[in-house]
Structure 1
């Protein structure tokens, strides 16, 4: 039977081996000093006040997603990840694993314990013969697109700038290529995984189908992924960009969005429409995409005809397209909310727009803020591209759509108000979809990368939940990964 020791027991043993000088050093920061003695020179351990520490704990939603940890550990190889994971698991020390740092749920990729920053896992190795690429878990998608551009290929990754490779992929991953190639997890061929007991594995459908299933949408429940091997797709030149409108154009944008979702079946075409308010002022925007240098006539004409405050739509590199999206405010407090409608109708569009304006008015006195409701249409083919079982989605026969509510603010005293608003607004839109006849919305899974932190696991993994929990118990019987944040099985 495996023994579980406290870090105090470990420190006493190591102190007796290394000596009195080490014991004095240990008293300053016992946990992190011990870790620094267990890893190789490839790994850095950083303490509060250092630039590396600040960068390591920082997040996109910095005010709400960041915590002050005891130290930041930047592993330099999978073997050191193994050493750190075995140490925190044995000593029962809370820890976090941060890839790109774009998670908005508080405490999901941060900790007051040991913060593991994956930034040194920055490999990008393209294999021209197999048309695959191996990418490190510490990268953001901008890095990957830039490295692949000279090879005239791209991958199914994040649709806007600054999204981390690891969290996006382990949660499922809706990309601009989804209508053609499925979710990001459908294009993953291999994972390099450090399991909770410290074993380093290459996980594929042939080598370990159960773990392969669990990692495809099961997030960080089965260990720490250090790299992904991905299928690439041809064509680094695409067409698209962003158009931003003042609030007076919202109804025209809504009509164009509904017409697109109803009539456009070209799998190379995609959009994201946002209704939003910033500092109380209504705005709207659309990101348009076509996987080719020029779209066929008519697909995007209605969007291009709406008078825009800013327009940046053209033939460009895939990287340029992603970076043209801009990003919502950094260094704020933020939360997402998720719904999974089956279609967007005029009635549902009106409800979404009303929610945007209602909650902007309700919350405007509480904090400087941004509110955005993102409509993300996909064809039902987004789920039929893959027949290999995946943790998410649990049901590939239902053509549900991801939908994101985004709130940002800057005063911690109002956290509960904004969290409650996101929950209430999600429920109202969901109920409106059911009322208008979308009964299957009640069983449509919620996208884990958008779901608010207290979402029941049944609402994400549905019928897959018992299988995932059995796999978790087998791979992680001592619940090491339960010491880290996230949706825990």
Structure 2
């Protein structure tokens, strides 16, 4: 009976939306017909929500209102309103994605999942946790702190749950458990027809697979059921800082090459980054490290520490403490861009692997040298290992859209350019394109010369630049699967035509 009343209510509400459609927009329709929490320009709550973007270029886009649903039912109501109008819109989780119009919008409504942050519900018996997309990984880590269990999540605590998981998610724990998306057991999803569906591997296998790397192309996720894993109450991690001399670069690149091709311990995780600021005032390497244990065994990170770090923050601490400490990497107050590429590392030819990494670094340094005069510049490149053992785990767990084969060790590169003034946007845009295109050309030349073997090298969505063809770099059969699923759940093109994100 209660279900019947809810159905009648939503039918009536949809008809009301249709009646109002010709004389109103989404914001006014929802304001007149619902009690959903909303914020408007010039209000404190609106300004606060807009300030949470990592990039100021996203904050400068001004939505007509910000809609903050708290339940799946309210999201259904919001989607019904979207269907009754023709405005562009955006969906925002943590605001980490810096691509304009991916999680930001100018002139249309913004749907923030901020209040879809229901209490994180842990079931120790089944080792699962239900998590809302409005949480950040800081929240998840703090909720699980002291339970002996941990989620495969972000390496910086301030990253939002929703976008991270839908992009695949690369974690410190990925070499033990695969992409973060491989540990999602269930999605609660609101579709473009304003209905909610529970998506599992059994109930909707193709949709389930497509959500693992499909981004925001298929609907609004209102909760995730995550597999969580045993983890000691205290883990070990932090950062090492090194000088930026050529000799140090060679040693660190050789160390990351060896770490990737002969992964020393699946409980270990790293991100190796090189940083440069405007006019070259600061030039350093920062190595983020993690070990799932109170201390790493001898030998795990020795090739890095043998280089001689200038500074170390590494210690035994909780996972929550480590993620919060890593938030220093989120430098607020700048516009910034992220772009990516994927490179293979040849096994059995250490010299070729090192040469490729040195050429990648040289390409980034050459491009960066041309923009050192940009106000507020922070340029960085990150080397993120994807050893073949990780892809074996991902496949064993049912796979994902990346569908990486397990005969290649890869490194995912993340390139960042942060800057202060909007006038420099075109300059940085050109630099970003030259950076990732230069890497692609290096790999293609190496392949043509027979130095590298032809490999499948998809792009990592979470680090992708809006100009990059994410879906075009997937295996054709995976892109076709995602497109078929998209056409089935969104035949009218609500997500495809009216919101941002990588397009099929």
TM-score normalised per structure 2: 0.87
Which residue number in structure 1 is paired with residue 215 of structure 2?
A: 219
Shift of 1:423: 1.7
Structure 2: which 5+ residue stretches go unaligned? 1-14, 347-352
Matches within 5 A, 1:301-316: 301-316=302-317
Decide which of 358, 369, 381 is 2:366's aligned counterpart: 358
Deviations 1:41-82 (A, max 9, x none): 4x3111011122123333443322231010000001111111
Q: 2:481 aligns with which of 445, 461, 467?
A: 467
* Contact in 1 for aligned 2:128/2:227 (Cα 8 Å): yes
Aligned to 2:146: 150
> Could you say what secondary structure the match of 2:464 adopts?
coil
Partner of 1:117: 112
2:379 to 356, 360, 371: 371
Partner of 1:107: 101
2: distance between equivalents of 1:85 and 1:263?
A: 48
Q: Deviations over 1:412-467 (max 9, x none)?
A: 222222122222111222322343433434x3111111121022221145431112
Residues 337 and 116 (structure 1), Cα distance of their counterparts in 2 relative to 1, 3 Å cut: same
What does residue 265 of structure 2 align with?
266
2:44 aligns with one of 45, 51, 69: 51
Per the alignment, residue 63 of structure 2 pairs with 69
Question: What is the DSSP-based 3-state SS (H/G/I as helix, E as strand, rest coil) of the residue aligned with 1:363?
Answer: coil
Deviates more, 1:44-53 or 1:395-404: 395-404
Gaps of 5+ in 1: 1-8, 17-22
Contact 1:45 1:73 in 2 (8 A): yes
The one-character-per-residue Cα deviations of 1:339-395 (angstroms, maximum 9, x if unpaired) are 111228221222233233322220012332111110111321211113455552034
Identify the residue that residue 35 of structure 1 maps to in structure 2.
30
Matches within 5 A, 1:189-200: 189-200=185-196
Q: Is the 8 A contact 2:257 2:345 kept in 1?
A: no
Q: Are residues 1:244 and 2:241 paired?
A: yes
Tell me the distance in 1 between the aligned counterparts of 2:429 and 2:335: 11
1:451 alignment partner, one of 464, 467, 471: 464
Aligned to 1:80: 74
Task: Measure the CA separation in 2 of the matches of 1:224 and 1:55.
Answer: 23
Separation of aligned partners in 1, 2:98 and 2:454 = 28
CA offsets, 1:11-43, max 9 Å, x none? 793499xxxxxx9xx7xxx5412112333x4x3
Which secondary structure does the structure 2 equivalent of 1:296 belong to?
A: coil
CA displacement at 1:121 relative to structure 2: 0.9
CA contact (8 A) 2:26 2:85 kept: no
RMSD: 2.2
Partner SS for 2:332:
coil
Aligned match of 1:394? 403
Partner of 1:165: 161
Residue 20 of structure 1 corresponds to none
Q: Distance in 1 between matches of 2:72 and 2:143?
A: 23
2:443 to 419, 424, 433: 433
CA contact 1:341–1:438 (8 Å) conserved in 2? no
Q: Secondary structure at the match of 1:449?
A: helix
Instruction: Give 1:239 shift.
Output: 1.2
Report the number of matched residues. Answer: 467
**TM-score (norm: length of structure 1):** 0.90
- Tell me the SS of whatever aligns to 1:401: strand
Cα separation, partners in 2 of 1:391 and 1:130, compared to 1, 3 Å: closer
SS in 2 for 1:349: helix
Partner SS state of residue 314, structure 2: strand
Name 2:499's counterpart in structure 1.
484
What is the deviation of 1:305? 3.4
Please give the alpha-carbon distance, in whole angstroms, between the structure 2 residues aligned to 1:90 and 1:105: 27
Distance, in Å, in 1 between the alignment partners of 2:444 and 2:236 is 36
**Structure 1 residues 424 and 104 mapped into 2: Cα distance closer, same or farther (>3 Å)?**
same
Q: Please say if residues 58 and 101 of structure 1, whose CA atoms lie closer than 8 Å, have aligned partners that are also in contact.
A: no
Shift of the 151–448 alpha-carbon distance from structure 1 to 2, 3 Å rule, reads same
